[in-house]
Chains A and B, each alone.
Chain A
Amino acid sequence: MEKLIEYKCPCCGGKIEFDSNSQKMKCPYCDTEFEIGTLRDYENDLVCDGEDDISKVGKASGRWSESEAEKLRTYVCHSCGGEIVTDSTTAASSCPFCGNPAIMQGQISGDLRPDLVIPFKLDKKAAEAALLNHFKGKKLLPKLFKDENTLKEIKGVYVPFWIYDNKADANARYRATKLRYWSDSRYSYTETSHYSVVRSGNLEFSGVPVDGSSKMDDILMESIEPFDISEAVDFNTAYLSGYLADRYDVTSEESASRAASRMKKCCEDTFRSTVSGYASVIPESFSFSLDEGTVKYALYPVWLLNTEWKGKKYFFAMNGQTGKMVGDLPLDRAAYFKWLGGLTAAFSVISAALYLLFMLS
């Protein structure tokens, strides 16, 4: 005995009945007619909607060997609590986070050993030059900033990142419409055809980085992306020489949600881009799940700079691999209003001419 299925109207949600006159399914509330097959297929579309599942994000597991552990030292800053790791040959003289001289020394223990490192490709000089370049071409930057700002700190730091490789499964359902226009002597007609569009599939990700240090501003770190993981090499303590490495203090599980949401957004965008040819597309449901993947612990090179101007500190970061420099600059309010006023005046001339042309013709 077949189960009695009640179909809901895709247009208004009411219960659909079979209309013997037209031999089709018809909604008594909105009078829309449907083919029987259409309703069955639509039900199938709806069934695929689901909840997100990101439980299978991987776990990192590398461990330090004893000989390696001997070569490394950790430092803890008294004033801000920042922790850094470096090799035994490098003395950490000041905290890269707050500028205070770092104090406490300790041995590495119980920490995870990085799987990968992207070595510094650009040196200190390149970082300074890039900062000056960053100031160029910004019309609303106060003129004095360039001359008066004092570079307080440049530090090359290895920032800990959790790197995720995953295969993502997603199911997206949209409501789309196509339009058709025509007219006769008495009326203009608009026909709207409604479609249920489904895109289901998977997308692979490799090297999605999430900042594993609570001290490093996550947004700042995301701004200097992308990092090219193909240039990463197996970790060796030698790389730490002359640089400081920040210790991770966020676990990979905690970082996983950020990785997952970024992967999800990318899937949403990618799937949406495969829907074309419609007048309008409205997403109705999107479900996302991650297959078993891997997590790696990597150190990525970042140059941190801060300058001071008129008593305020400005922070900049440069990608030690690609050279991308980011950092918010101050706004010259006077220049802002001068430009606004000047441009408005200039456009007023054109606007007035157009207005007269329009009004006096």
Chain B
Amino acid sequence: MKKLSVLLFVIILILTPVLADDSQEVASGMIPDERQLPLLVDDAGLLDGEDYQEVLDRLEEISGEIELEVALVTKSSLDGEPIKSYTDDFYDYNGYGYGDGDDGIMLLISMEEREFYISTYGYGITAFTDYGLEFLETSFIDYLSDGCYRDAFIAYAETCSYLVETARNDRPLDSYDEGGDSDYIGNGGYDDYGNGGYVSDGEVSRSSIWQCLADGWFIILLIAFIPAIIIVSAMKSQLKSVKPKNSAADYTVKDSLKLSKVSDLYLYRTVTKVARQQSSSGSSGGGRSLSGGGSSMHTSSSGRSHGGRGGKF
């Protein structure tokens, strides 16, 4: 009897940590509340002072706007460590992430291996689907390969902003958007991202304005014509003053109107009803099957679940 209970006790003692680990997240002491490092960490020295500041400012600005931290890390070498776990850990243990959910995305580049990895956490996992991450990659990969690091990083930041805005205002970009739906491509400016090119804001606006005007010239003229014809007709009618007077209103004896019968008789009533639109709960864009790819996840060493995508450049 005694041997059995001791054996039982030992078994429980061994199992407890294992069981405990499965059921709860890692102790909060290991992951800092505050971010320990800037949003842009350039250990590989790819950017000079000016470019660094520019990229950092943009990252901070965007992170504030979309309420999600967009981070970027460059390293000259990972010393053999796998880039996926390195990025996840870098994100977790340096306290990256916005708000209670630590929402964020991090792009880590290692120059020696010429590898990159994008890690997402919190709302970042939802906003950046697998398809979205592919989309994100194509926005900066060419710049990265060409060595245009500042351009690559700016493109990364802008695309992150776009994807999160899309996710918040409509729904996350996913594979069902592949057909080049104009809702997502926007006004002729954003589809440039898909082609790996980055066009500055000024050029996009100007060309799309002319395009828009060229399409709508007929309607514009029609709308302008209406007040013009009204005014000119009024001017024309000034010329005509010979008109018959059909009413003898000028000749009524003042206050001579006497009404002998004033009756407002209620007859009947009819009621018509129109069915109201039921407000749809969460569904949007009727007729579209929402069978997107979603976001695949993996667990990092901290025990937290991250989304991500990696590759070579």
Contact = CB atoms under 8 A, between A and B. Distances in A.
A201 B228 CA distance: 46
Interface of B: 187, 208-209, 212-213, 216, 219-221, 223-225, 227-229, 231-232, 235-236, 238-253, 256-276
Given A200-B260, A265-B247, A360 B212 contact: yes
Contacts of B241: 223, 325-328
A206 B269 CA distance: 43
Contacts of A262: 245-248
Contacts of A359: 212, 216
Interface in A305-361: 325-331, 336, 339-340, 343-348, 350-352, 354-356, 359-360
Interface string A278-291: 00000000000000
A270 B257 contact: yes
A201 B258 contact: yes
Given A186-B275, A193-B269, A194-B267, A204 B220 contact: no
B276 A188 contact: yes
Given A191-B269, A355-B220, A140 B236 contact: yes
Given A38-B265, A198-B262, A329 B239 contact: yes
A38 B275 contact: no
A99 B51 CA distance: 94
Given A138-B239, A196-B265, A265 B246 contact: yes
Contacts of B240: 328-329
Given A189-B271, A340-B228, A208 B251 contact: yes
A105 interface: no
Interface in A213-235: 217-220, 222-223, 225-226
Contacts of B225: 344, 347
16 contacts: A138-B235, A138-B239, A196-B264, A196-B267, A200-B262, A202-B257, A207-B251, A209-B251, A217-B242, A223-B241, A223-B245, A326-B241, A346-B228, A351-B224, A355-B216, A360-B208
Chain A interface, DSSP helix/strand/loop, else mixed = mixed
A219 B243 contact: yes
Interface string A232-264: 000000000000000000000000000101110
Contacts of B247: 262, 265-266, 269
Contacts of A271: 259
A269 B267 contact: no
A29 interface: no
Interface in A8-45: 10-11, 32-34, 38, 41-42, 45
Q: Which of B238, B239, B248 has the most CB of A within 10 A?
A: B248
B259 A274 contact: yes
Given A199-B262, A208-B251, A351 B220 contact: yes
Nearest to B241: A326
Interface string A33-73: 11000100110010010000000000000000000000000
Contact of B248 (A38, A185, A259): A259
Contacts of B264: 176, 195-197
B112 to A, nearest CB: 46
A202 B259 CA distance: 6
Given A206-B251, A266-B248, A10 B276 contact: no
Contact of A199 (B227, B238, B261): B261
B248 A188 contact: no
B270 A32 contact: yes
B265 A208 contact: no
A11 B268 CA distance: 8
A32 B239 contact: no
Nearest to B237: A140
A205 B275 contact: no
A137 interface: yes
Contact of A195 (B250, B267, B271): B267
Contacts of A187: 273-276
A146 interface: no
Given A191-B270, A354-B223, 4 more contacts: A38-B265, A140-B239, A193-B266, A328-B241
